[in-house]
Structure 1
Amino acid sequence: MTTLAVEKGVGAKLRHWRETRRLSQLELALRADSSARHISFIETGRSRPSADMVLRLAEHLQVPVRERNDLLLAAGYAPRYAETPLDDPAMGALRAGIDQLLQGYEPYPALVVDGTYHVVAANRGIQMLLGGVAEHLLAAPNAMRLALHPEGLAPRIRNLPAWRGHLLHQMERQIALDRSPALRALYDEVAAYPRPAGPADEAGSAQEPGAEDPVAYFALPLRIEHDGQVLSFVSSISTFNTPMDVTVAELAIETFLPADRATVDHLRGLPAH
């Protein structure tokens, strides 16, 4: 077997994930009920792992579901995880559950994104915040573009430097794990956006939040202007446990919890639509 073949094989890919997780061959072997010698033979291409072994190692290495299919293919096996479009009839119950969750969270904002931050569902709380956003950003909405584009929400985010840094760091962590070219391209695009003139550039507006808002001491808030009122939210991201489908594995539900009483009062005072 040539060096090039080994580098493209399952062994090299598993070694990459093991090194990414900062595990020794012995540590991985103990977790996977194997031996360091066997792990070494797999990584160097001297031994072909069974499909079950590939999946067992992937589980202990916390490999994303999409990449687990890639490992199986590299080892000569068929993929185990389907990638079902969200609009497929088989996804009907999932979509209904997501819609119910988002509606139940109103009037507070909540949305669902896929692995490259395209918005696949959003509630009226999100739609309320998007007033005034450029039409070209709403045509195929992407959460990162909506937040950071100068014609998106960025001019109204009062702590834009801190929030921008948080979002870019979030993407950097994901890129380090997923190695997605599409995600890397999105990162390069949004990181290059110019900072818009607006509230975030006003004197004192970029200071670290927290002085007037106790929850901000332990969670960075999103501070955004709406109808002359500065709203403050802390966000939480949820994913599905043990997904068996690539599409489901890459979905993330982000909810925005009001970080102060003024935000609660403002949202509850808005007319229902």
Structure 2
Amino acid sequence: MTTATQPLKTAINIAWLVKLPSLARSFLIKFGYAATGILFPLLVLALWQLAFEKNWLPVQILPPPSLVWQTFWELIDSGDLTSNLWISIQRIAWSVLIGGGVGLAIGFAIGLSKRAYAYLYPTFDVVSQFPVVGWIPLLMIFLGIDEALKVAAISLAVVVPVTVSTYKGIRNIPRALLEVGEVYQFTQLQRLRRVVLPAALPSIFSGIRQGVMQAWLSLVFVELLASSEGIGYLMVWGRQLMQMDIVFIGIIVIGLVGVVLDFVLRFIEARLQTWRRSAF
């Protein structure tokens, strides 16, 4: 090593030593955020195991985590969990398509037309106050207890948040943006695509996210009441057999699927924001 390069290497080493504390702090902060997210579930799991070991509750009511884990893999191997989960996901997909489509149609109608608002909104405002469970007896009369009942009931849970968010998103568009369309003499279709839809998109997608999550919660409730298939029925089946490990598996799966749905919707929302910026 020459005398010319030695000071340079020493300076680089000193620079790394200076940066090391800040890098370590950054790593610890990021690790701390991640660890905080899993800390509470780990505490619940530890308390669960402790309750089993101390016999705070009978095994029939509170099975050990090891039994729940074992039953989870048994249900996967037998296909009971995957088949029932797939049925529930199909119901969600159809309900979101139907309920979301109806909600968007009503939301755009009452948001863009004062006449449609005058005719439709008062009735919609009254109907939206009824919970999903309140519609089930009436839907049973017209649809029976087959698949149409589940899809219709869950679709109703989607319609309300999508309609409200779409309507509010359109009504809250700044007047200056609407005047831009008038200046450029946009057609109704161009005005909808270039001004209304991009400006109202955040509110619309917020309603869709709420609708999907409401659909997932309503799905489980409907399956608990009137279904012979699905993740909710699997929980009822476990309760009837006094196998609470199956019930716990259903609860955990419902929570995990909800998290995955929210993550997917956030990803789609981020991609739509890119289109929104380019649409103006």
Category of TM-score, reference length = shorter chain: under 0.3
Structure with the largest fraction of helix: 2
TM-score of the pair, normalised by structure 2: 0.23
Pick the structure with greater CA Rg: 2
Where relative contact order (Cα < 8 A, 6+ residues apart) is larger, the structure is: 2
Structure with the largest fraction of strand: 1
TM-score of the pair, normalised by structure 1: 0.24
